[in-house]
Amino acid sequence: MRAISQNTYGTPDVLEEVSLPRPVPGPSQILVAVRAAGVNPTDWKHREGGLFLDRLPLVLGWDVSGTVEAVGYGVTLFKPGDEVFGMLPYPYGLGSHAEYVTGPARAFAHKPAGIDHIQAGALPLAALTAYQALVDTAGVSAGQRVLVHAAAGGVGHLAVQIAKARGAHVIGTASGAKHDFVRSLGADEVIDYRSVDFAEVVQDIDVVLDPMSGDTRARSLGVLRPGGILVSLLPGTDPDEAARAAQLGVRVETLLVEADRAGMEAIADLVEAGSLRAHIEAAFPLAEAAKAHALGETGRTTGKIVLVVGSQDV
């Protein structure tokens, strides 16, 4: 099979197309013929320095949308020919930037029939991150005030939609040029972080979702109401954060996304209800993975970048 691999860490140029043996599904695994796979910031972070993984050569990719090719012993949820989407177990179960990949059957759900593989391939990691942060961790409910930082980004634009689907009042931060886009997702208010200090204009927030950490994370504590929660997607750097949070009567959680069949089924339900859709910034053929990485690293993209496997209609 064709796959995108790297033998060293570095710039997008280290990525190359190689030929590898097609994997065989083990017990409780399925073999998926990949049709599309998202590219996420964690992909280029691992490419340039390993992050959680220190093994080379490395085939990146956690997002998967495709067709079940074969099932391993004990699998009852899927049959060959089923269309599925899901996230391989993060961080160690990677490898979707290839024509075929194996993964635990219970990391997948049936792909909603109303979306194509490009749309489905864009969703898993980012949507699961948003869902696990807002629903599983923060328990967002109707009437709550939710602040989503980087609301036009991969996780952020999905988080806005998930929070709205749960009846929250959603405030997003984004550059001015992206305000119309964020409002189109359902945001009730949008703040231009380049010209306005959100900490001066926002208050009484129940939930903050922060994919950026650093100074944004520190200032976000001050906008939470007592009993509120900040869910961060990156480690904190302030040694006094816990003490400050306790003083303010708020909670801070740092989330690392996990493979989750129940979460994928909830995401599929939102998609089928018309409440959730990924915005595709660009789709590249598998052989152009380096271009996808380079675009993502500009930090100027809106929504998601996807790799398309093969020339077939997806």
Predicted TM-score (pTM) of this structure:
0.96
pLDDT in tens, 43-52: 999 999 978 9
Mean pLDDT of 220-235: 96
CATH 3.40.50.720 residue ranges of the chain are: 126-254
Which pLDDT tens digit goes with each residue over 267-297?
999 999 999 999 999 999 999 999 999 999 9
- Tell me what pLDDT residue 239 has: 86
Asked whether residue 312 carries a pLDDT value surpassing 80, the answer given is: no
**What does the pLDDT look like over 143-199, one tens digit per residue?**
999 999 999 999 999 999 999 999 999 999 999 999 999 999 999 999 999 999 999
pLDDT at 311: 57
Per-residue pLDDT at 237 = 80
pLDDT band at 21 (very low <50, low <70, confident <90, very high): very high
What is the CATH T-level fold of the domain 126-254, as seen in this structure?
Rossmann fold (3.40.50)
Give which of 67, 229, 245 is closest to 137, Cα–Cα.
229
Asked if 225 and 204 count as a contact pair (C-beta separation under 8 A), the reply is: yes
Residues carrying CATH 3.90.180.10, the chain: 2-123+278-308
Residues of the chain above pLDDT 70, percent: 99
Fold of 2-123+278-308: Quinone Oxidoreductase; Chain A, domain 1 (3.90.180)
Say yes or no to pLDDT of 235 above 80. Answer: yes
pLDDT at 213: 72
**Residues with Cβ < 8 Å from 300, sequence gap 6 or more?**
none
Question: What is the sign, positive or negative, of the torsion defined by CA atoms of 191, 168, 203, 210?
Answer: negative
Residues sharing a CB contact under 8 Å with residue 270, sequence separation 6 or more, in sequence order: 161, 162, 165, 276
- The 3-class secondary structure across the chain, one letter per residue, is CEEEEECCCCCHHHCEEEECCCCCCCCCEEEEEEEEEEECHHHHHHHHHCCCCCCCCEECCCEEEEEEEEECCCCCCCCCCCEEEEECCCCCCCCCCECEEEEEHHHEEECCCCCCHHHHHHCHHHHHHHHHHHHHHCCCCCCCEEEECCCCCHHHHHHHHHHHHCCCEEEEEECHHHHHHHHHCCCCEEEECCCCCHHHHCCCEEEEEECCCHHHHHHHHHHEEEEEEEEECCCCCCCCHHHHHHHHCCEEEECCCCCCHHHHHHHHHHHHCCCCCCCEEEEEEHHHHHHHHHHHCCCCCCCEEEEECCCCCC
**pLDDT tens digit string along 104-120?**
999 999 999 999 999 99
Q: What are the pLDDT digits (tens) for 66-87?
A: 999 999 999 999 999 999 999 9
Residue 219 structure tokens? 């200032």
C-alpha pair distances (Å), 106 with each of 13, 77, 84, 102, 265: 34, 8, 11, 12, 11
- Whether 314 has a pLDDT exceeding 80, the answer reads no
